[in-house]
Amino acid sequence: MTELLTISGLSISARLADCDLRLLDDVDLAVRRGQIVGVVGESGSGKTTLARSVVGLLEKNVRVDGGSISLAGEQVVAPGVDLTAGVRGGQVGMVFQDASRSLNPLMKVRAHLAEVLHRHVPGIDKDEVRRRSVEVLEQMRITDTARVLDSYPHQLSGGLRQRVAIGLAVVTRPSLVIADECTTALDVTTQTKVVELFRTLVDELGIGLLFVTHDLMLASDLCDEIAVMSSGRVVEQGTALHVLESPEQDYTRRLLAAIPAWN
Ligand SMILES: Nc1ncnc2c1ncn2[C@@H]1O[C@H](COP(=O)(O)OP(=O)(O)OP(=O)(O)O)[C@@H](O)[C@H]1O
């Protein structure tokens, strides 16, 4: 299977006033077409830093010390590359934790979709924008597309807003989607629906998904493979079943022991 994302030996540091702080240390990770890879770990373990390094959305004080990131075989991150430029265009879709913050409260859903399409699909005309906007909402299992297109974000429920945010991430037809704690702000029922939607999208569209979460149970439900992070390192990696049923590291065992339903 083709590797959409290949992270090899990636080490990243932040420059602080008096020292350098290692944020990622020799990280290896790959995502293939049709595959969901979960990144789990405690708060502060480096999950968001890893996700944002792929899409060039890190702070200005961060630099690559070693290693590389390739998208579909093309190297996009290596020592010396600017990690703040957000240069991935429509190639990688990103879904953040809080849909209400990633959507502009003054813009209707229709305008959000049109803006993203105009930015990433050169020369796209009005009819095609309309067609692809409806198509992507249908892919998000939204039935009343006309109402949703004409709504402002605050007029939609939290679950619907997150579906729209996922739609915005996939409307440019990226091969890779990165979701960073994107179900954390949702109630459990809505969370389950969003997770089911991701599985369907990966299977239907053949995209790869990097799913960042602190929730091991959620990762076990959704992901084919899981990478466990601690202090900027991937300490354990394998199929979801292997990591959860036969963890090799004490750190993973402790994460599992902290889940009431697991014991
Ligand atoms: N630009 C930066 N400068 C200094 N420290 C940083 C910077 N970016 C991240 N860090 C630190 O790196 C560590 C890892 O942060 P990161 O947000 O990647 O962790 P996380 O696993 O996603 O945590 P959470 O689940 O709480 O979001 C944290 O201690 C954070 O404060």
Give the domain CATH number at 173.
3.40.50.300
Retrieve residue 175's tokens: 């091969």
In the prediction, which pLDDT does 263 show?
Answer: 59
Paired sense of beta strands 208-212 and 176-180, if any:
parallel
In the prediction, which pLDDT does 232 show?
Answer: 97
Atom number, ligand 1, closest to the C-alpha of residue 229: 21
Distance 47 CA to ligand 1 centre (A): 8
Higher-scoring residue by pLDDT: 48, 87: 48
In degrees rounded to 5, what are phi and psi of residue 111? Answer: -70, -35
In the prediction, which pLDDT does 234 show?
Answer: 97
Contact 46 CB / ligand 1 (< 6 Å): yes
Distance 143 CA to ligand 1 centre (A): 38
Retrieve residue 146's tokens: 């006309």
Indicate if the alpha-carbon torsion angle 30, 36, 38, 39 is positive or negative: positive
Q: Which amino acid is at 47?
A: K
Alpha carbons 255 and 207: distance in angstroms, whole number: 29
Atom number, ligand 1, closest to the C-alpha of residue 212: 22
In the prediction, which pLDDT does 150 show?
Answer: 98
91 has a pLDDT exceeding 90: no
Higher-scoring residue by pLDDT: 227, 77: 227
Domain limits for position 218: 3-262
Alpha carbons 5 and 12: distance in angstroms, whole number: 17
pLDDT tens-digit profile of 165-214? Answer: 999 999 999 999 999 998 888 888 888 988 999 999 999 999 999 999 99
Alpha carbons 228 and 220: distance in angstroms, whole number: 12
In the prediction, which pLDDT does 1 show?
Answer: 53
127 has a pLDDT exceeding 90: yes
pLDDT band at 102 (very low <50, low <70, confident <90, very high): confident
Write down the mean pLDDT value for the chain: 91
CB 10 within 8 A of CB 69: yes
Which residue puts its alpha carbon closest to atom 2 of ligand 1?
Answer: 14
User: What is the 3-state secondary structure of 17-49?
Assistant: CCCEEEEEEEEEEEEECCCEEEEEECCCCCHHH
Count how many domains the chain has. 1
Helix (H, G, I), strand (E, B) or coil at 225: strand
Mean per-residue pLDDT, 139-143: 93
In the prediction, which pLDDT does 105 show?
Answer: 94
